[in-house]
């Protein structure tokens, strides 16, 4: 089936590539190799020469994808990534074999509070105010601490450039899906401000299933409504000092039942100061606040009852010293206070403080060699967990345009307060039981890559191997006695878990306004086992071994008043098997091995720019009208072709 998906993908791509014979565009385009990235080393590096392989999704890429949130963007642009439903239709991310708890998602380098069944609330990560996204695969705990065992996704927000800029946009799709956004940038003298507002809504809708499902299926997809507001204020009193402050609010409501809709809120704020006492030194101080709440609104009583709250207060200090011949020394410290409220917690509330110190040295041995070593010590107050994690990276440039990179990193993840102290009834299915004796999860990551780049094309080939010890997960549901009303699902440490993978990407741009990117990812995930050596029954879908993404676009400016851009995005994923319960509410019915077939999804859009202020977009998502025969929890999140129309005004 995967070969058929690839054949369909190749056929569609061939059709659009044939249009390369279109009239030559007046714009000569090259790949920007001088982008500055910060995530891999926590210091500015040129993308072409950073010792840590970094994937960058630029603002232009975001606009081409027409993405609403992080989920839309990642599944459009990157292979090895798949979103599926967890229990109660919460979104779950599989990032090349790693789930949400092993993947650290940052916004301007700051952590996010709250989670929904181990993943962040992806709906709060709107793309309206994003400048670029930097993605580093592999363990990064030596720089970012717990939860960075599988990689880091750092969302970099937009900055005001000059004068006044205003963007107003809207989009309509099926199921009455609306998206509205506003971005206002102001800059005058030493002051600058960026205000971003967005609102989305989509109705509940019904999906159809085949006559003989082998496991529980979904018949209704629940929509939601979201509101998102973020403001960032910048002040540069003099050249050596930069100050910034931010505040944000997010609200989401999902009506699974008419009388008791679920509500999710987030309040965030922060302060940052960057001081450069000399050309060779920089000091950065920051404070971040984030509170994520969940509640049920009792519509008939007019009561909004909060049943979950996670509050994080974080302080950070980072010192950077530029030494001889490009060497850079960095050192810093973090403090994080984590507070959790939930009626299902023992004692209703729990709190934990963590602190760390870290240091890194970036050694440059001429243009051909660069080595980076980092070391970090973390301490967690709950149960006194202390962990030392190293990281080492090498870049070698044997000839012009060719970079070879090797890296080793130790990862770790401290058990969360939820995993240690939660005891709650999961919708009458089973009782999830916390384990205060959980050990910290540790991992070893090895990665190797080769990258050849010229002005108009880049080819990258990379491979990685991850070995995880004491993986934290839920075990198999069991009953301690026949009299128990429902089975228990305890948190446990599992035996060795390994992920091996490789990825190849080719990106090129031509002078006639056409550009293409092709990516392939192979992931071999060895599922964790329980103490009896049996694979753990997983409610989440394992990583698909083969995945492929393709992007093609053509831009032509006919005159100074009109420009047309055509974008084609596609992805194909191989089939996979997963063991699932026939009925989550009656485990006595046993399990079935569910086969999720290979599939391919394609999106085509036409973007018209009229003058300098008006943009019109027409899009067909899932243009091949793919529909799963059965909508299991882990099936692709689509019910067929989706026609979208959008407009944007730039002033």
Strands 262-278 and 241-254: antiparallel
Q: How many domains are contained in the chain?
A: 1
pLDDT for residue 601 is more than 60 = yes
Span 434-461, pLDDT tens digits: 889 999 999 999 999 999 988 888 999 9
Tell me what the mean pLDDT of segment 332-360 comes to.
Answer: 92
Over residues 624-650, the mean pLDDT reads 90
Top-confidence residue, 531 or 183: 183
- Position 27 scores a pLDDT of 46
pLDDT at 19: 40
Query: Would 24 be classed as within a structural domain?
Result: no
Burial class from Cβ neighbours inside 10 Å (0-12, 13-18, 19+) for residue 300 reads exposed
Inter-residue contact 525 to 580 (CB < 8 Å):
no
The reported pLDDT for the residue numbered 428 is: 65
Query: Of 366, 373, 368, 288, which Cα lies nearest the Cα of 330?
Result: 373
Q: What is the dihedral of CA 35, 277, 106, 67, to 10 degrees?
A: -40
Q: Whole domain around residue 382: which residue ranges?
A: 36-650
pLDDT digits (tens, 9 = 90+) for 169-194: 999 999 999 999 999 999 999 999 99
In a domain, 31, yes or no: no
Is the four-CA dihedral 371, 356, 337, 269 of positive or negative sign? negative
Q: Which residue has the tokens 């190849």?
A: 504
Is residue 530 scored above 70 in pLDDT?
Answer: no
pLDDT of residue 25: 43
Q: In this predicted model, which residue has the larger pLDDT, 552 or 348?
A: 552
Question: CA-to-CA distance for 305 and 59, rounded, in angstroms?
Answer: 39
**pLDDT value at 135 more than 50:** yes
The Cα–Cα gap between 291 and 23 comes to 53
- CATH classification at residue 535: 2.40.170.20
pLDDT digits 0-9 by tens, 418-437: 888 888 777 667 778 888 99
Which residues of 574-637 form beta strands (DSSP E)? 576-581, 591-596, 599-610, 614-621
What pLDDT is attached to residue 30?
64
C-alpha–C-alpha distance, residues 76 and 622, integer Å: 11
Distance CA 105, CA 76 (A): 18
| pLDDT surpasses 60 at 538 | no
Spatial CA neighbour of 648 closest among 325, 152, 316, 165: 165
Strands 262-278 and 514-526, sheet pairing: unpaired
| In-domain check, residue 488 | yes
SS3 at position 612: coil
Measured CA to CA, the distance from residue 389 to residue 238 in angstroms comes to: 38
Lowest mean pLDDT among 160-169, 332-341, 490-499: 490-499
31 close to 456: Cβ distance less than 8 angstroms: yes
How many angstroms separate the Cα of 536 from the Cα of each of 10, 471, 482, 628, 639?
37, 12, 22, 26, 30
Question: E strand or H helix at 255, and its extent?
Answer: none
DSSP 25: P
pLDDT above 60 (res 539): no
Q: What's residue 62's pLDDT?
A: 92
pLDDT at 244: 97
- Overall residue count recorded for the chain in this entry: 651
Beta pairing partners, 374: 360, 391
d(CA 335, CA 127): 29
Has residue 6 been placed in a domain? Answer: no
Taking residue 29's Cβ as centre, other Cβ atoms within 10 Å add up to 16
Q: What is the mean pLDDT of the chain?
A: 87
On whether the CB atoms of residues 112 and 104 are closer than 8 A, the answer is: no
Which one is predicted more confidently, 86 or 127? 127
Relative to beta strand 430-433, strand 488-494 is parallel
pLDDT computed for residue 237 by the predictor:
95
Task: Give the lowest-confidence range in 44-58, 266-280, 542-556.
Answer: 44-58
* pLDDT score, position 569: 96
Report how far residue 558's alpha carbon sits from residue 615's, in angstroms, rounded to the nearest whole number. 15
Using the 8-state DSSP alphabet, how is residue 584 labeled?
T
**What are 6-54's pLDDT values in tens digits?**
444 444 444 444 343 333 344 445 666 678 888 888 888 888 888 998 8
In the prediction, which pLDDT does 141 show?
87
Give, in order, the Cα–Cα distances in Å from 565 to each of 136, 606, 607. 30, 6, 5
pLDDT at 150 exceeding the cut of 80: yes
The arithmetic mean of pLDDT across residues 285-296, rounded, is 96
Asked if residue 499 has pLDDT above 70, the reply is: yes
Read off the DSSP letter of residue 89. Answer: G
Query: Strands 349-365 and 45-46, how do they pair?
Result: unpaired
Write down the H helix ranges in 81-208: 141-144
Quick check: is 5 in a domain?
no
Which pLDDT value is given to residue 16? 42
Q: Please report the pLDDT score of residue 362 as a whole number.
A: 95
Q: Is the pLDDT of residue 602 over 90?
A: yes
Element (H, E) at 17: helix 2-17
pLDDT in tens, 569-585: 999 999 988 877 777 66
d(CA 286, CA 270): 7
- The phi, psi pair for 199, rounded to 5°, reads -145, 135
Residue 633 has pLDDT above 80, yes or no: no
Q: Average the pLDDT over 313-329 and give the result.
A: 93
Which of 63-72, 114-123, 323-332, 522-531 shows the lowest mean pLDDT across its residues? 522-531
CA distance 591 to 581: 4
In which element (H, E) is residue 472 found?
strand 471-474
Output the six-digit token pair for 8: 């369909």
Query: Strand runs (DSSP E) across 477-561, as ranges?
Result: 488-494, 497-509, 514-526, 546-559
Give the N- to C-terminal CA distance of the chain in Å, as an integer: 48
pLDDT for residue 15 = 44
For 187-213, write each residue's pLDDT tens digit.
Answer: 999 999 999 999 999 999 999 999 988
Q: Bigger pLDDT: 253 or 147? A: 253
Does residue 616 lie within any of the structural domains? yes
On the question of pLDDT at 378 being above 50, the answer is yes
Highest mean pLDDT among 153-162, 423-432, 469-478: 153-162
Residue 410 counted as domain residue: yes
Quick check: is 436 in a domain?
A: yes
Q: Give the model confidence (pLDDT) of 49-79 as tens digits.
A: 889 988 999 999 999 989 899 999 998 999 9
Do the strands 151-157 and 103-107 form a parallel or antiparallel pair, or are they unpaired?
parallel
pTM: 0.90
Mean pLDDT score, 121-140: 90
- Main-chain dihedrals φ then ψ at residue 648, nearest 5 degrees: -140, 140
């Amino acid at each position: 089936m995967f070969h058929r998906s690839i054949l369909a993908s190749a056929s569609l791509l061939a059709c659009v590539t044939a249009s390369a014979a279109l009239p030559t565009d007046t714009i000569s385009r090259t790949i920007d190799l001088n982008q500055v990235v910060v995530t891999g080393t926590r210091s500015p590096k040129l993308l072409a020469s950073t010792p840590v392989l970094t994937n960058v999704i630029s603002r232009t890429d975001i606009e081409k994808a027409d993405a609403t949130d992080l989920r839309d963007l990642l599944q459009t642009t990157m292979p090895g990534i798949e979103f599926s439903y967890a229990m109660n239709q919460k979104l779950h991310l599989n990032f090349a074999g790693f789930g949400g708890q092993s993947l650290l998602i940052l916004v301007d380098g700051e952590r996010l509070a709250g989670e929904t069944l181990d993943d962040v609330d992806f709906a709060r990560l709107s793309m309206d105010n994003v400048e670029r996204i930097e993605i580093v695969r592999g363990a990064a705990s030596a720089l970012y601490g717990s939860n960075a065992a599988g990689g880091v996704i750092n969302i970099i927000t937009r900055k005001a450039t000059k004068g006044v800029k205003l963007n107003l946009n809207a989009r309509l799709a099926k199921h009455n899906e609306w998206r509205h956004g506003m971005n206002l940038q102001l800059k005058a003298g030493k002051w600058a401000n960026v205000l971003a507002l967005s609102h989305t809504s989509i109705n509940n809708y019904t999906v159809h299933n085949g006559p003989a499902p082998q496991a529980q299926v979904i018949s209704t997809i629940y929509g939601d409504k979201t509101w998102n507001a973020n403001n960032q204020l910048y002040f540069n009193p003099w050249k050596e000092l930069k100050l910034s402050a931010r505040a944000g609010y997010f609200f989401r409501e999902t009506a699974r039942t008419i009388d008791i809709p679920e509500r999710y809120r987030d309040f965030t704020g922060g302060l940052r100061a960057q001081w450069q006492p000399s050309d060779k030194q920089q000091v950065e101080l920051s404070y971040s606040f984030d509170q994520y709440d969940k509640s049920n609104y009792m519509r008939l009583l007019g009561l909004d009852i909060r049943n979950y709250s996670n509050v994080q207060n974080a302080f950070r200090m980072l010192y950077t010293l530029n030494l001889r011949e490009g060497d850079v020394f960095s050192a810093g410290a973090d403090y994080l206070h984590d507070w959790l409220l939930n009626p299902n917690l023992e004692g209703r509330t729990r709190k934990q403080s963590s602190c760390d110190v870290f240091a890194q040295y970036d050694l440059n041995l001429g243009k051909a060699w660069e080595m980076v070593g980092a070391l970090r010590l973390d301490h967690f107050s709950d149960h006194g967990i202390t962990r030392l994690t190293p990281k080492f990276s090498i870049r070698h440039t044997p000839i012009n345009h060719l970079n070879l990179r090797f890296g080793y990193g130790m990862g770790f993840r401290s058990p969360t307060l939820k995993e240690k102290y939660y005891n709650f009834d999961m919708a009458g299915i089973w009782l999830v039981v916390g384990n205060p004796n959980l050990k910290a999860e540790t991992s070893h990551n090895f990665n190797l890559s080769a990258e050849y780049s010229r002005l108009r094309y880049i080819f990258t080939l990379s491979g990685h191997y991850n070995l995880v010890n004491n993986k934290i997960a839920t075990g198999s549901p069991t009953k301690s006695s026949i009299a128990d009303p429902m089975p228990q699902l305890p948190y446990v440490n599992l035996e060795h878990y390994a992920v091996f993978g490789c990825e190849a990407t080719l990106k090129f741009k031509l002078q006639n306004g056409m550009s293409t990117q092709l990516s392939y990812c192979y992931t071999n995930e060895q599922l964790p086992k329980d103490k009896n050596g049996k694979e753990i029954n997983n409610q989440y879908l394992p990583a698909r071994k083969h995945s492929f993404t393709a992007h093609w676009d053509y831009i032509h400016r006919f005159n100074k008043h009109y420009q047309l851009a055509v974008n084609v995005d596609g992805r194909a994923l191989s089939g996979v098997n997963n063991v699932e319960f026939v009925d989550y509410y009656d485990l006595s019915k046993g399990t079935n091995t569910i086969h999720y077939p290979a599939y391919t999804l394609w999106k085509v859009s036409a973007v018209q720019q009229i003058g300098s202020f008006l943009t019109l977009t027409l899009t067909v998502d899932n243009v091949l009208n793919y529909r799963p025969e059965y909508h299991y929890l882990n099936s692709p999140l689509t019910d067929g072709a989706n026609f979208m129309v959008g407009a944007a005004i730039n002033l």
